[in-house]
Amino acid sequence: MFKRYGNRRELPLHLMLVPGLVMLLIFAYVPMMGIIIAFQQFNPVKGLFGDQNWVGLANFKTIFAMPNIWQVIGNTVFIAVMKIILGMIVPIVFALLLNEVKQVLFKRVTQTIIYFPYFLSWIILSGIMIDILSPSTGLANVILSWFGLGPVYFLGENSWFPYTMVASDVWKNFGFNSVIYLATITSIDTTLYEASAVDGAGRWRQTWHVTLPGMRMIIVLLMVLSLGSIFDAGFDQIFNLYSPQVFASGDIIDTMIYRLGLQQSQYSISAGVGLMKSGVSFVLITVSYYMAYRLFKYRFF
């Protein structure tokens, strides 16, 4: 009787999940049927389930025969890994520093300022960055000229472009992650700090032996979740900021899929690249889940 009452009480909560599950089904699972395109010489006129010419793994052989495929993969991994590393270090350090601030008003204003860019899309931010990083009138180069440094083509030189992408992505997102870490810090038992102070530990020792261990679980969680996106260097950001002159260092898998599929109409090849990327990401996130359990005894499910 209690079980039936409990299920009836939770029914409204279950119904609240239905719209999200329907959206997930429509936009995440139904499109998976398009995977078959990667194994066909797809002709849009015949439709997805029409009498297509099956070619097996021929499309994947074509992909790895492309002259720039390894360069694109290298660019993707380099930019994504740099984003993951700095995207964890910067917000952790900032959260630790902001936690030491005692003025509540200053802390809240700072949180609001650093959190604001997270809500802006890359369509808006790309326009702002193009103006700021302009080699002639951009604010960044104006400041460099004060120190006698020549103009830097942040968005037009292969040596600068990937680092510009990493720095701008960290700037946009570190405010959100800092809020997560700050919330974790506030949940740490204050008696641990009091006990460490009695033992003679200063603020640095307290941070190292109390705060960071208290943040370990959320750090592991975010790290594991980020490993699944190691082949996701940020399409919306790079697509809005790159140009053909920085393809050597800025062209990534997602922009390559866009050009192959939508500009050159090579649907089967682009589907093959996307399937390869998803497969590698699936393997990486599975391994990361296993490592999180083996090393830290942390379970997600």
Sorted by where each begins, the domain ranges of the chain are 1-56, 58-296
58-296 CATH pick, 3.40.640.10, 1.10.3720.10, 1.10.1040.50, 1.10.357.10: 1.10.3720.10
Residue 166 has pLDDT above 90, yes or no: yes
Q: Which of 7-16, 82-91, 153-162 has the lowest mean pLDDT?
A: 7-16
Residue 52 has pLDDT above 60, yes or no: yes
Average pLDDT, the chain: 86
In tens, the pLDDT along 238-297 reads 999 988 888 888 899 999 999 988 888 888 999 999 888 888 888 888 887 787 777 666
The confidence score (pLDDT) of residue 2 equals 43
Residue 8 has pLDDT above 70, yes or no: yes
The confidence score (pLDDT) of residue 300 equals 61
For 4, counting Cβ atoms within 10 Å of its Cβ (0-12 exposed, 13-18 middle, 19+ buried), the class is exposed
Strands (E) across the chain are located at 40-41, 53-54
Residue 32 has pLDDT above 50, yes or no: yes
In tens, the pLDDT along 183-238 reads 888 888 888 888 888 888 888 888 888 888 888 888 887 887 787 778 888 889 99
What single-letter DSSP state applies at residue 187?
T
Please report which helix (H) or strand (E) contains residue 222, including its range. Answer: helix 216-227
pTM, entire model: 0.85
Distance CA 243, CA 227 (A): 28
The confidence score (pLDDT) of residue 194 equals 82
The confidence score (pLDDT) of residue 149 equals 82
